[in-house]
Amino acid sequence: MTDAAPPAASSAGHVHASPGLHGSRGRTYKRWDIQALRGIAVLLVVFQHARFPFVAGGFLGVDIFFVISGFLMGGIIAEGIDARRFTFAGFYARRARRLFPAAYATIIVTALLAPFFLDGFEITDFARQAAGAFTFTINFVLWKQINYFNSGAMLKPLLHLWSLAVEEQYYVFLPLMLVALKARHRVAATMALTGVSFLLCAYVLPHSPSAAFYFLPTRAWELGLGTVAALALRRYRFSLPSQAIVRGACWTALLVIPVLCAEAGHPGLPALAVCIATMLLLVTRPPPRAPSALAPLTATGDRSYTLYLVHWPVYAFANNVFIEPPSLAVNAALLLVILAWMELQYRLVEQPLRHFAITRRAIAVLLVLPLLTCGASWGVARQAGQKDLAWRAGNRGFGEACNYQRSFDPRPACQNGDHPRTLVWGDSFAMHLVGGVAATAPGGVMQATKQVCGPFAGMAPLDGIQHRRGWAEDCMAFNRSVLEALARRDDIRTVVLSSVLVQYIPGAEPEIPWRILRQDGAQTRESALDSAALLQSLEQTVRALHATGKKVVLVAPPPSIGVDTARCVDRAATGLWTISELSGCNFSRANYEEKRDPVLKFLASARHVVPVISFDALLCGRELCRTAYDSVPIYRDDSHFSIPGGVLVAKKIKLGTLIEAAAR
C-alpha cells in the first residue's frame, strides 16, 4: 500500500510575498489555493484508504503535499536569510510548534488503543513504529518491516508517518544548503540537486521499489520542485502566458490523473505529472478570492494535517479486526469516527498549542512523552512476545541466505547434509516445504529458491512494480544456474519443483498486472500470461532434469483463498475482537476451488508431464479446509505453511517417502 505525505509544512498557507508574486517583499498573505490543494490531496488519500471506487491513484496526494511543503519552506527560509533574521533555532522551534502537538497526540492515542486491536505480531512491530515516529525515522523502520514474509502494510497503524519523516529529513538539509549558498546560486543549485534526486529515483525504482518509495534521496525531487519554484519567484520576475488556461489545466490534471492511474511503479510518470501541475499552480496568480463553492475544500485544507494524522490509525485498526477487507459501507461509516477525532484534535490540540513557548519545561515534556509511550509499547510487546509467535515468522526454509538472487551457488547453510539426495527448487512455496522435506526425506536436502521465481526454464514473471524486467532476467539466470549446477551433482537424485503458480497463469491473480518474460532463441520478449506456455516451460524443465539423470516431482501449493487465516487463528487464540466470514478460521472447499480454479486446472494438465503431489486430501474435507491440525497452526499468512505447520503436514503425509515414490 502507498501513503501520502502529511500536509504539515506551513501554517495555513501563509506565504511571504516576493517581487515575482503578489506584491512587495515581506508582506504576508493567505493563499486560498494552497489550502484547496491541501484539501484535495488529503481527500484523495483518505478516499483511497477507504477503498472508495474511482480513486485508485489517491496515493498521489503524497506528491501534492511534498511540492507544497518544499515551496513553503523554501520561501520561508530564503526570506529569513535575505532579511538577516533566519536562525536554525527559530526555524526548528517553528517546526516543533507546528508538527509536534498533533503528531504526539495521534501517536499516544494510537498507542493506547493498539493493545485492544493488534495481535502479538503486530504490537511488536508497532513498538518499533512508535519509536521511529517520534524520531522521524519511521521510513527506515517500515522499510525493514514491510517485506514479502511480513504482515501487510494495511495493518500498520503508523504507516502513514513515513512521509512526515521524509519531510523532516528534508528540512535538516534544506536550511543548511540555503544558508551556505549565495542568493544568486540558490535556484541553480537547488535545480541541480532536484535533478539528481529525480535521476536517482528513476535508477533505483526498477531495482528496489521500496527504497525508492521510502527514502529521502529518491523522494527529495518532489520537495525540491516546490523549493525551486519558491526560490525562482524570489529571484526573478516572470509570468506564465495564459495563466487562467494553465491553472485550469493543472487543476484538471490533479483531479483526473488520480482517477486514471494505478499504484504500479510509484513514484513514476503520474507522480511527475502531478508534481509539475502542483508547481505550476504555486507559481501562477490565483484569483484574489476563493469561489464560495470551495469553502468546504479550503476548510478541509485547514484541517488537513490533523485529518491526515488520524485517518489511517482508524482504518489500520479496522483492517486488523476484519480478517477479510472491510466493506465499503464499513469504511464509509468509519469516516464519522475519523471526522470526530479530527475535529477534537484540531480544536483541543493543534490550534491551542500552535504557538506554545519553547521553554525548558516544554522541552522536558517533549522528551518524556515519547519515552513513556515507547516504554509502555515495548512493555506490551514483550508481554505479547511471551506467547509462541515463532509460527508467524517467515518460513524461508533453511534461512534467508537461501533466497538466492541471480545465480545459484550451493551454500552449506542451505543444506542439511554433505551429500544431499533431494533438491527443493522454486519460489517461496518451495521454501516453505524445506523444513517438512528435511524432516521426512532420507539422505538430506538442498534448497535452491528465489522469491516469486518459479522453477521454469526460459520463463520468468514480471509485474512492472516490485518485479520488473531486470528482476525477471535475474530469475531466468537463476533457473539456468540451477540446471547447470544439477548437471554437475551426481549426489542429488530427486528434484522437487514447487511454485504458487499464480504469477504465471491468466486469471489466477487478476489484481496484479502479471506478464511473463520468455526466452525466444537468443532473445527474450515480454508477453501476456499463457498457461500453454507455462506447461511448455515445465516440459522443458523436466526434460532438462531427466537429461542429467534426476527424477522429478511437482508439489502443488496448499489450499488457500487469499485470506490471512493465520491472523484469524492468532486473534482467536488471544481473544481479540475479530470479524470474519470464516468458519472457526477454516474456509470452505467450494470457495477454495472457485478462487484457485485456474491453478487447479493447470495442475490437472501438469500431471501429464510430471507427477504432482497435493495437500488437498489431507487439509480439505467435503465442506471445509482446515487451518490448524492437532492445535498447530498450518499457515503463517494467507497461503504459506508456518514452520511447525509445514513439518506437521509433511509428517502426516510422509512427504519424503511420498516424493521418493512419486518422482519420475
- Give the tens place of pLDDT for each residue, 271-282: 999 999 999 999
Q: Is 288 exposed, middle or buried (0-12, 13-18, 19+ CB in 10 A)?
A: exposed
Residue 42's closest CA among 3, 9, 99? 3
In a domain, 61, yes or no: yes
pTM for the model stands at 0.88
User: CA 249 → CA 58, 245, 277, 330, 575, distances in Å?
Assistant: 19, 6, 8, 35, 54
pLDDT tens figures, 226-269: 999 999 998 887 777 778 888 899 999 999 999 888 766 788 88
Looking at residue 26, its amino acid is G
Number of structural domains found in the chain: 2
pLDDT beyond 60 at 2: no
337 φ, ψ (degrees, to nearest 5): -65, -45
From the list 393, 370, 318, the residue with the least C-alpha distance to 127 is 370
**DSSP β-bridge partners for residue 641:** 635
Q: How confident is the model over 554-568, as pLDDT tens digits?
A: 999 999 999 999 999
Q: Which three cell numbers stand for residue 308?
A: 491526515
Q: Does the structure show a pLDDT above 50 at 476?
A: yes
- Cis peptide before 559, with omega less than 30 degrees from 0? no
Which residues touch 359 (CB under 8 Å, ≥6 apart)?
none
Kindly state whether residues 33 and 67 are assigned to the same domain. yes
Q: Is residue 283 a part of any domain in this protein?
A: yes
pLDDT tens-digit series, residues 599-649: 999 999 999 999 999 999 999 999 999 999 888 999 999 999 999 999 999
pLDDT reading at 118 higher than 70: yes
Domain-ending residue, one of 357, 385, 413: 385
Q: Using an 8 Å Cβ cutoff, are 368 and 337 in contact?
A: no
Same-domain pairing of 374 and 425: no
Residue 85 and residue 288 in contact, taking contact as beta carbons nearer than 8 Å: no
375 and 438 share a domain?
no
CATH of the domain at 613: 3.40.50.1110
Residue 239 lies in a domain: yes
In a domain, 431, yes or no: yes
Residues 134 and 228 in one domain: yes
What digits encode the pLDDT tens for the residues 153-166? 899 999 999 999 99
Give the H or E element holding residue 527.
strand 523-527
Q: Are residues 444 and 351 in the same domain?
A: no
pLDDT in tens, 479-509: 999 999 999 999 999 999 999 999 999 999 9
| pLDDT for the residue 321 | 96
Task: Give the pLDDT confidence score for residue 656 in this predicted structure.
Answer: 93
Q: Mean of the pLDDT values across residues 189-215? A: 92
Total H helices, total E strands in the chain: 24, 14
| Residue 128 lies inside a defined structural domain of this protein | yes
Q: Is the pLDDT of residue 151 over 80?
A: no
Q: Rounded to an integer, what is the distance from CA 512 to the centroid of its chain?
A: 14
As a whole number, the mean pLDDT across the chain is 90
Same domain for 282 and 317, yes or no, is yes
Tell me if 225 sits within 8 A of 276, measured CB to CB. Answer: yes
The predicted-structure confidence for 32-44, as pLDDT tens digits, reads as follows 899 999 999 999 9
Q: Both 371 and 464 in a single domain?
A: no
Strand bridging mode 459-462 / 515-520: antiparallel
Query: For residues 122 and 151, what is the distance between their CA atoms, to the nearest angstrom?
Result: 8
Given 385, 408, 433, which residue is the final one in a domain? 385
Q: Say yes or no: 526 and 410 in one domain.
A: yes
| Residue-wise pLDDT tens digits, 425-465 | 999 999 999 999 999 998 899 999 999 999 999 999 998 87
Instruction: Establish if 309 belongs to a structural domain.
Output: yes
The total number of residues shown for the chain amounts to 664
Summarize pLDDT for 369-424 with one digit per residue, the tens.
999 999 999 999 888 765 667 788 889 999 999 999 989 999 999 999 889 999 99
On whether residue 636 sits in a domain, the answer given is no
Task: Please name the amino acid found at residue 654.
Answer: K
Domain hosting 555: range is 400-559+597-624+643-662
Cα separation, 312 vs 39, whole angstroms: 16
The DSSP line for 72-103 is HHHHHHHHHHHTT---HHHHHHHHHHHHHHHH
Q: Residue 16 is inside which H or E element, if any?
A: strand 14-16
The answer to the question of residue 140 being in a domain is yes
Q: Do the bridges between strand 14-16 and strand 587-588 make them parallel or antiparallel, or are there none, so unpaired?
A: unpaired
Phi, psi of 227 (to 5 degrees): -65, -40
Average pLDDT over residues 171-184: 94
Looking at per-residue confidence, does 513 or 386 come out higher? 513
**367 & 420 share domain:** no
Residue 362 shares a structural domain with residue 414: no
DSSP assignment of 127-176 equals HHHHHHHHTT-HHHHHHHHSSTTSPPGGG-TTGGGHHHHHHHHHHHHHHH
* Across 284-298, average pLDDT: 84
Residue 130 has pLDDT above 90, yes or no: yes
Last residue within a domain, chosen from 321, 355, 385: 385
Question: Is the same domain home to 374 and 406?
Answer: no
Same domain flag for 23 and 92 = yes
Contacts of 248 (CB under 8 A, 6+ apart): none
Q: Which helix (H) or strand (E) holds 633?
A: strand 632-633
In percent, how much of the chain has pLDDT > 90? 75
**pLDDT 10s digits, 524-544:** 999 999 999 999 999 999 999
